[in-house]
Each structure stands twice: as C-alpha cells, then as structure tokens.
Amino acid sequence: MLLRIHPQNPQDRLIQQVVDVLKRGGIIVYPTDTIYGLGCDIYQVKAVQEICRIKHIDPKKAQLSFVCSDLSHLSDFARQISNTTYRKLKECLPGPYTFILPASKQVPKILQSKKDTIGLRVPDNKIALTLVRELGHPILSTSLPGEFVEDYTDPELIYEKYKNIVDIVIDGGIGGSVPSTIVNCVDDSFEVIREGAGEWI
C-alpha cells in the first residue's frame, strides 16, 4: 500500500493506520531527514528477522538503528552516558546523525550485538517523529538497499520495487540522497565512522 502523508501536517488517521500495521508486525518504508528507511517495531521479532532477510544481514551484526522521537528513550536502551555525550546529542538532535552508544540490557534479545552497542537516531522529520510518538517506543530502522539515488529517494519508484515485500510505503515527498552521519560515542571519543548529511565539527 502507498500512503501519501503530509510532510508538515501528518494526518492523524493515516499515522494511526501505519502504527496499527507496525504493532501487528508489519514492515514499512518511511521518510527521514535523510534517505527513506526500512522500519518495523523493535519488539516484533519476525519483522526484525524479515528486514534482515531483505537486507541479507545478520541481526546481531547488522547496523540497525533505533529511531526515537526524542532523547527520553536514552535511559531505556543505552547505558553509561556521560554529561559530555548527552550535551552533544542534545545539540545535534533532531538531525541527520546516528550515534553509536553502549546498549542496555533492555535492548530486545534479537538485536543484542556482540559489540554491545546500538545506533540511536532522532530524525528531523515530522512523519517519522509522529509515528514513533504514537507507537510509544522506537522503530527499528535501516537504509533501503539500492544502487541508484532513485532507489531510496522517490517514494513512487520505491513502492513499485517493494509493494510485494513491505506492508506500507509512505510517500512523504522526495527524500534526500545522502545518509546520516554516523558517530561513535561509546568512549566519549566522538569518532566519525561515516560522513553523511550531518556536518561534524
């Protein structure tokens, strides 16, 4: 299903429709402040497994992110965050960054990696933030596979490619073509692992 949701004023009825699908274990393609992402409810094990199958990755080794609506979920899924790291996160988020943080024991088992870390995202995108708020906990997210910019920026082309694979493709307008900047914060070192849309100083 292709759902056109207004990027600035997401319609409550449509947001609720997507949230219901997520709660039932569905998989969605949705807009962020960078490229379109592939997402599901972090507590739906079969959906997590399916996303990993689509991407040909092992959930325990994969670079999957928790998309949050704000920093209130930090203490649930990340541990031992220093004041320096917290200030940096507050300064950069919402924004086009993924922060690698030490994972807490509350991270669902299927997502507990050997590295014992999680990626945390708070995208500056009203559709994504509204979805997470209504769901009540983070969405598991990963980038769409694709070789050409259109593969992960144009919702109509994404729909044609994924309509038989995912439950909903949200059309929130043309997406960005550059992924988020990934920053490792595990030791307060702020090491840039991937340079992306977020400028790092």
Q: What is the DSSP track for 51-79?
A: HHHHHT--TTTS--EEE-SSGGGHHHHB-
What's the mean pLDDT when you consider all of the chain? Answer: 92
Give dist(CA 15, CA 1) in Å, integer.
Answer: 14
Peptide bond into 59 cis (omega under 30): no
DSSP state of 30: E
pLDDT at residue 111, rounded to an integer? 83
Whether 159 has a pLDDT exceeding 80, the answer reads: yes
pLDDT at residue 114, rounded to an integer? 67
Amino acid at residue number 193: I
Domain map (residue ranges) of the chain: 2-194
pLDDT band at residue 146 under the 50/70/90 scheme: confident
Whether 36 has a pLDDT exceeding 90, the answer reads: yes
- For the whole model, what pTM was predicted? 0.94
Average pLDDT over residues 65-78: 90
Whether the Cβ atoms of residue 178 and residue 35 lie closer than 8 Å to each other: yes
Rounded to a whole number of angstroms, the distance between the first and last alpha carbons of the chain is: 41
Whether 186 has a pLDDT exceeding 80, the answer reads: yes
Average pLDDT over residues 146-150: 81
Q: Which run of H or of E encompasses 157?
A: helix 155-162
pLDDT at residue 112, rounded to an integer? 78
**Span 81-111, pLDDT tens digits:** 899 999 999 999 999 999 999 998 888 888 8
pLDDT at residue 135, rounded to an integer? 97
According to CATH, the topology of domain 2-194 is DHBP synthase (3.90.870)
Average pLDDT over residues 25-38: 96
Whether the Cβ atoms of residue 108 and residue 43 lie closer than 8 Å to each other: yes
Whether 10 has a pLDDT exceeding 90, the answer reads: yes
CB atoms within 10 A of CB 195: 13
Give dist(CA 51, CA 33) in Å, integer.
Answer: 21
Instruction: Give which of 114, 105, 138 is closest to 37, Cα–Cα.
Output: 138
pLDDT at residue 184, rounded to an integer? 94
pLDDT at residue 197, rounded to an integer? 93
Whether the Cβ atoms of residue 168 and residue 5 lie closer than 8 Å to each other: no
Residue with tokens 């079969």: 46
Two structure tokens written together for 128? 């994504």
Looking at the DSSP assignment, which residues form a beta bridge with residue 118?
101
Residue with tokens 């649930």: 76
